[in-house]
Amino acid sequence: MTGPLFLVGFMGSGKSAVGRRVAQQLDLEFRDCDRLIADAAGKTVEEIFREDGETAFRETESRVVDQLCTGGALVAATGGGAFLSFRPRSRMIVSGITVWLDVPLPVIRTRLAGERQNRPLYDRDDPVGMRLLYEKRMPSYALARHRVDGTDLDRSVEQVVRLTRER
Ligand code: S3P
């Protein structure tokens, strides 16, 4: 593997948890897009959304993706919205390995019910809205080169590692 490996998928699909472990197994650096965006802005993701708006967040996200695309071999967890726009998505597809961690919404719901991290676009009290957002995003995630069932974290790690060896 010479370029980056990008994990994409809906909020709560385990991109960071899986990414960290995959990086460890492959002895590569792990990068978390949201962390990099927050560091660049000097505030939390929630504060960026609240104070600067989603458009500003997406601009920084796109820049962070650009940097990761030229960073050589590494493992990156992207935010749930990073693979939706044409530019960052196509940059990721051409520069590295893209893997969609596909997790059914009920599993995501259970995971995020017990989560303390604040996600500005996830509203646990609006199951219909979350279903609509989930359905709307699926076709974009499906454009990733690989799809891995992310329901079981251990199995996902194994499968992602195997994918990197195939190429
Ligand atoms: C977002 C997902 C979040 C974060 C931001 C927007 C989204 O990342 O980038 O809150 O649009 O789905 P996670 O997927 O890690 O929750």
Residue 109, CA distances (Å) to 12, 32, 125, 152 in order: 8, 22, 10, 15
* Superfamily covering domain 5-162: P-loop containing nucleotide triphosphate hydrolases (3.40.50.300)
Binding residues: 12-17, 34, 58, 80, 119, 137
Domain ranges of the chain: 5-162
Ligand 1 atom with the shortest distance to the CA of 119:
10
Binding-site residue numbers for ATP are 12-17, 119
How many CB atoms within 10 Å of residue 154? 9
Predicted TM-score of the model (pTM):
0.97
Ligand 1 atom with the smallest distance to the CA of 16 is 15
State the distance from the centre of ligand 1 to the C-alpha of 109, rounded, in angstroms: 14
Task: Please write the tens of the pLDDT for every residue from 93-145.
Answer: 999 999 999 999 999 999 999 777 779 999 989 999 999 999 999 999 999 99
Q: Closest Cα to atom 4, ligand 1: which residue?
A: 79
Residue 46, helix vs strand vs coil: helix
pLDDT tens for each residue of 30-75: 999 999 999 999 999 999 999 999 999 999 999 999 999 999 999 9
CA separation for the pair 29, 48 (Å, rounded): 26
